[in-house]
Structures are given as structure tokens and as C-alpha cells.
Chains A and B, each alone.
Chain A
Amino acid sequence: MPMTFAEKVLAQKAGLDSVVPGQIVTVRPDHVLMHDNASAIFGKVADALGTYGIANREMPVIILDHVIPAASEKDAAGHKKIRQAVERFSLPHFFDIGRGICHQVMMEERFVRPGQLILGSDSHTCTYGALGAFATGIDRTEAAALLLTGETWLKVPNTFRIVLRRALKPPVSAKDLVLSLIGKLGADGADYRAVEFHGSVGTLSMDDRMTIANMGVEMGAKIFVFPVDHSTREWLSSRGFGPDAYEPVWADVAATYEREITFDLAEIVPVVAMPHKVDKVKPVTEVAGLPIQQALLGTCTNGRLADLRIAADLLKGKKVAPGVRLLALPASREVLQEAIASGVVSTLIEAGAVVLPPGCGPCLGAHQGALAPGERCISTANRNFKGRMGCKEAEIVLASPATVAASAITGVITDPREVG
């Protein structure tokens, strides 16, 4: 029977020949990601873990990134509990503060391969679809149960097939692509669905694919997934995975799709998502001139070297506008090191940026870079919900690294095609 990507992976993981949408299957994920919330996760099952132990010590990967370094005694105590749990259960996969944002680290540290099933107690776990994995978010309670049993249930999703045509025209970027897609389909446009990308995927770099897959959940999707091609193989090989280390999975040509959408990349323009919904997408030209007080460059959506470099190229020899705070948040220690070595960091600092430690920082409003009432922040992050950056009377506008950098220079929302 011809199957989609999601059907194939779930059938394989459930030990079945085939599955159909709506079917509920029992699966054992290859890895389960936890971050600072591991403190609450271990707390939920502390007694039971004493009795039954951890089902599979290789499965959990714990990466501290959300509030790092600790902003308060309570955060510090949470981190301490996690370190103690790691020691108590001799967990082999633990990364303390400073290594980077969990999703970037999962990929850099070789926990993601094509065809794998990865669950994470963070909604942006969907990022790893860029590498051809089935990756999606779960809550803390489910992560806790997975520690005890190593297995859970998943419903086989229906699939959308998105066919990309032609290529993006720089400075139009992957962020403009995914925001345009969400604007077109809506924040619930792919609720419960798997979304496969076909067509001119080869025109997109691996960083581009990570940016796109990262935002799958903002369209309600269970997974966003890209096929494994030359770029994927090259990326995996740079991480020490030869062609024998993984078996790519992809949809059969005759698979059944709930919906097919064609998307012409050459027609996409720089866009923003206006407050307070990710699908309130408008061309930058329609909102150009709106003043900003903060600009956030980075996060798990757009904090990779290519993103920082795009911003640095625009900011070179210029200064951030008076009255604007530019925050740069690299996705990982590796990214930060490469950005230092290539001069990107000094360009950003000379322009007036504040460089933050690799982590989640201001994106979720838990610490660093919180907004004041009446302020507007242009950000490369993935969410602009009311109150997201710590203040419900502030506005967050989502955009690409180029648009954020251009706006930081002028102090108002600016089309990157006008700054050069």
C-alpha cells in the first residue's frame, strides 16, 4: 500500500506493515527531549522512578536552555534538581547551560537522524523535520510517563503535500516563506496534520529548512518534514554520519494526501506577522515606518550562523538607531564560536548589539530583554502572542533576520530591500 512519510515512519516504529490516518499506534521514540522543565518532569515521578527505574536511559536527552544562567533562586534550584537526577540515574545525555538552545543542540550533538521518531517536551521539537525525522512536541506529563515506560501512543495524521516551485529571491528568506505559508493557511491551517515539502526543496539550505520546520507548530502541524537530499547528506556527514548511519524515509509517489498546495517561492516578498497572532501576515511595505524600541535577532527559529551573518552584512559600518536595543541570541555555543571566528560577532557589537548567551532568553519572557508597556519589538522568533515577552501591553512583530537588522538600523519597520 502506498504511504506518506508519516504513515511509513509510524508503521515502522509500531512494527506494522501499514497504517492509515486516524489509527492509533504504540511507539517507542528514539529520543525524548527535555529542557529546564526536566525538573518538573522528574518531580512528577520521583517516587515511581525509585520503584521502577528508567525504562531506557539512552532515550532522554536533557539540555538546559530556557532560563540560563538562572535568573532567580527558584530557577537555580530547578537546575540543581535536574543535575541531581542526571547523576542519580546515570543519564548519559545531559548538556548544562551554555551549550545552546535544545533544538539546535539536538541536531548538532547527533541525536537526530532521518527516519527517526523524536518526541520533545517543547512545541518546537518539530524543527528536526528539516533532517527528515518525525519530530513533534508533547507535554511534561507525557515525558514523565515515557521515562517510566519508554512508549506512548500516537494517532496517524492526515498529510498535506506542499509543492514548492522556483526559488526565493534574496533578501527574501526562509522566514518570509514560512510566515507567508502560515498567513495563507492560518494558525490552525494544518492542525493535527503532517506537512511534507516537495518540489524545489533543493534551493533551500539546511538552515532554511530548520527555520521552516521550526514554525510547523505555528500552523498547528504535528510535523513539518523535508526529504533527504544532497544538502541533508552533506550536513549529516559534517556531523560524522556517513550514508550507512541512517536510512532515509520518504513518501511513495502514489501516497494519498488530504490536500495539495503549490507555493511559488519567487513570488514571496519580505513579510511580517503583526501582533498578536502568527497568521496576521502582511508585506513589510504595508507596515513600514512603525517605530520599534527593541529588535531580537536569533532564537531556535533564526539563530544560526547564516541568520546572524545576514544581519551583520546589513549592519556592517552602521549603528543601531538611537532608542533601539538590538539583542543577538545565537542558537548554540558552536554558532557563537563560528560567529566570533568569522567576525560576525564583532560587526554586531560594533553596531551596538547586546550579545546574549546561547539559550531561549527573551523569546518566552522568562528573563532578559523583557518589554515595557507600550513598547514594540521586531523579532526573528516564532511567536508574537500577547504577553509572550513578559508584558501584555507590548507588541511583538515577527520578521526575517534581514528585516530585523534593517529595522534596527532605521528605528522603524523597514523593508530590507531598501537598506544596503
Chain B
Amino acid sequence: MRVWKYGDDINTDMLFPGKYTYTCATAEEIKPHLLEDLDPRFATEVQPGDIILAGKNFGCGSSREQPALGLRAVGVAAVVAKSFSRIFYRAAINQGLLLVECPQAVDAYAEGDGATLDPAAGTITVGAKTFTFPKLPERILAIRDAGGLLPYTLARLKEQREFA
């Protein structure tokens, strides 16, 4: 499992160029263009379970959801950053992608370090150091744990209909 390390203010155009926004909507269409203008190796080399470590304000910019959808689809285990931009944060919850806000873990990283994550315990280990991160509120966790907002919403609608 590999750690992909990036800097501050990684914006939505770097994560998924705007010129594809209206031609790529499905996971298969999105995957080849992920991080295209930031790191051309990413789309071909990323493996399920990989972790992204980044600086502050990750995901700033557009409301496009292809970055969150694509990162979840290629199996990225989590994006760990010093902070996130709010629309991206919501988009990640809505796609069931795990985001971890933990500046200490990002600062602890040195070239070549591995990282492991225990979402249930709320811990991340970078190199030899382990850090805890706060759990999301129950209500938000329920959305993410359902696999994203649409599965969550459909399950609720079905339940309401059966109940009524």
C-alpha cells in the first residue's frame, strides 16, 4: 500500500481537469484523468488501499464531484490532510470516501514512510507514530457507512414507503 504525498491547496482542477467535467461522469470515464495535471503517474499506478497525504485546503475550488467519486472508485482508503475545502468534504461523505483531518499525521510523514489506518479506532499511523482523529457525527457516519448519500437516501425512502 502506497502513500501519495501532496502539498497545500490541491484544487479540483488538479484533481480532475474542468475540461472533462461535462464529458466524464461515470467512474470508468473519470479514472484515467484523476490527478492528471498534478501527478501523471497517479491514474496508472494507484492501487486499492493507497492513502493520500496532503496539506491544507485539499479539494478547494469547483463543486465537481468527480475527484471524490474517482478516488473512491480506484479504492483510495483515505485522504489525510491538514484541512479540507467544504464542498469537497461533503462530496467525499456523499461518495463514501473517508477523509481524515489530522495535521500532525501529515507533518510526521517523511519520504518513504508507510501509513496505516484504523477507521473504527479513529487512528492513523505514519512511520512509527500513531495519531488519533475525531469521529464524524453519527448522522454523517450513517451516510458514509451506507456507501454514500444515494444508497442512504434510497434505503430511507424504501423504508418510509414500506412503513406507510
Contacts and interface: CB of A to CB of B under 8 A. Distances in A.
Interface of A: 24, 36-37, 40, 43-45, 48, 51-52, 66-67, 72, 74-75, 78, 120-123, 125, 137-142, 144-145, 148-149, 153, 187-188, 191-192, 217, 220, 222, 277, 364-366, 370, 383, 385-388, 390, 392
Please list the 6 inter-chain residue pairs (A to B) with the smallest Cβ-Cβ separation, ordered nearest first. Answer: A188-B57, A139-B65, A385-B13, A139-B91, A364-B18, A123-B63
Contacts of A44: 150
Contact of A138 (B63, B85, B150, B156): B63
B32 to A, nearest CB: 15
Contacts of B65: 139-141
B140 A24 contact: yes
Interface stretch (B21-29, B42-50, B105-113, B121-129): B21-29
5 contacts: A74-B23, A78-B22, A139-B64, A141-B91, A366-B18
Given A386-B13, A386-B37, A137 B150 contact: no
B87 interface: yes
A44 B22 CA distance: 14
A188 B60 contact: yes
Contacts of B91: 139, 141-142
Interface string B78-91: 00000111110011
A277 B84 CA distance: 16
B162 to A, nearest CB: 12
Given A138-B90, A141-B95, A365-B19, A385 B11 contact: yes
B70 interface: no
Contact of A139 (B61, B63, B157): B63
A125 B90 CA distance: 15
A187 B150 contact: no
Interface in B118-164: 137, 139-140, 148-150, 153-154, 156-157, 161
A66 B153 CA distance: 28
